[in-house]
Amino acid sequence: MSKNKLLSPFKPASHKHQKCLQSAISVAKKHCEVEGLRLTPIRQRVLELVWQSHEPVKAYDILDELKRSKSSSAPPTVYRALDFLLEEGLVHKIESLNAYIGCGNPKDIHKGQFFICHDCGSVAELDDDEIRDLLQKKAKRFGFEINDEMVEIKGYCLECRELKNK
């Protein structure tokens, strides 16, 4: 079956973000349990910090937060946790921003397509086989074998555009 999911849509400014966070953590716990991996306190804390919003978060911002409760934290603390979470598909890196964003669908590890609003900074994630198939088709024409993909689209989300038109 072909995927065509808006994995993570733009949320209205008013949405109950606590639920997003709680759900993400419980998904992560489940995932690690099933895979026999350890969601250690540091890893979980970093994941929570990444999920503080639907905007990509910077590694050193995470570090600053970590230090508030654990002064022993250092860059490797954060980057190791992020590496683990990236590896498991629990977060994605937005390359064009050097920042990290949570992903609620670690199961089948994927690379999504990201839509990033210039105004509010929020990100929507798509996981769309039509895009992937098209890229595949294009690649095939010159004998290229795809193994990793990065699609990051910037622009303006509906909510921000409507705000501006008022």
Partner DNA sequence: ACTGTTATGTTATAATGTAACATTTGTAGC
Partner DNA sequence: GCTACAAATGTTACATTATAACATAACAGT
Interface residues with DNA (CB under 7 A) are 37-38, 40-43, 58-60, 70, 72-77, 79-81, 84, 93, 98-99
Whole-number minimum distance, CB 70 to a copy of itself, in Å?
30
Residue 119 touching a copy of itself (CB under 8 A):
no
Residue 33 touching a copy of itself (CB under 8 A):
no
Quick one: tokens of 85? Answer: 């979470």
Based on CB atoms, which residue is closest to a copy of itself, 74 or 139? 139
User: Binding residue for a copy of itself (CB under 8 A) from 115, 120, 125, 127?
Assistant: 115
Of the candidates 73, 110, 104, 72, the residue with the CA atom closest to the CA atom of residue 90:
104
Of the candidates 130, 132, 131, 122, the residue with the CA atom closest to the CA atom of residue 155:
122
Q: Which residues pair with 127 in a beta bridge?
A: 5
Residue 109 touching a copy of itself (CB under 8 A):
no
Q: Which residues pair with 100 in a beta bridge?
A: 57, 93
Binding mask 59-98 for a copy of itself (x = CB under 8 A): ------------------------------------xx--
User: Binding residue for a copy of itself (CB under 8 A) from 26, 30, 130, 163?
Assistant: 130
List Cα–Cα distances, 52 to 118, 122, 128, in angstroms: 19, 12, 25
Residue 7 touching a copy of itself (CB under 8 A):
no
3-state secondary structure 96-110: CCCEEEECCCCCCCC
